[in-house]
Amino acid sequence: MALNVLIVDDSETVRSVIIKTLGIAQIPVNTIYQAANGKEALSVLEEQWIDIVFADINMPVMGGIEMVEKMSEDGLLKSVPVVIVSIEGSSTRIEQLKKKGISAYIRKPFTPETIRKVVDDIFGV
């Protein structure tokens, strides 16, 4: 099954690295969508079928936490898996995010193997 992926990060470079890493990890991808902040991501989520979201925490306009909160309030969007990809790594913050509904947390820098394992775990491969 090829996935529709949404990558949310204010850094175009980081978005490119995640895209490249998905390829190296041999994740079957149908379409990749990109957004520079949570507000743009919510617009994409309203218009496109997305199977998984990779998002940063700290972004201008709307950060990843607020985006996850808004998604959890929407009946359809709350079922979309969100993987936070961030340099922030405190266990308190990670637990807080898991309570808000994220599926996984990947700390930057990451490897293709890490991305592969998270995607496999989420989709039960």
All structural domains of the chain: 3-123 (3.40.50.2300)
pLDDT value for 85: 94
Cα–chain-centroid distance for residue 61? 17
Contact assessment for residue 39 and residue 70, using Cβ atoms and an 8 Å cutoff: no
pTM over 0.75: yes
* Average pLDDT of the segment spanning 6-25: 97
pLDDT band for position 102 (50/70/90)?
very high
Query: What three-state secondary structure class fits 104?
Result: strand
Average pLDDT score over residue span 58-77: 91
Dist CA 121 CA 73 (whole Å)? 24
Nearest to 84 by CA among 61, 60, 59: 59
The number of CA neighbours under 13 Å toward the Cβ of 10 is 12
Question: Which pLDDT band, with edges at 50, 70 and 90, does 56 fall under?
Answer: very high
C-alpha dist (Å) from residue 94 to 18, 20, 84, 91, 100: 20, 25, 9, 5, 10
Mean pLDDT of the chain: 93
Q: Per residue in 87-97, is it b (16+ CB within 10 Å) or e — as a string?
A: eeeeeeebeeb
Interval 46-74 mean pLDDT: 94
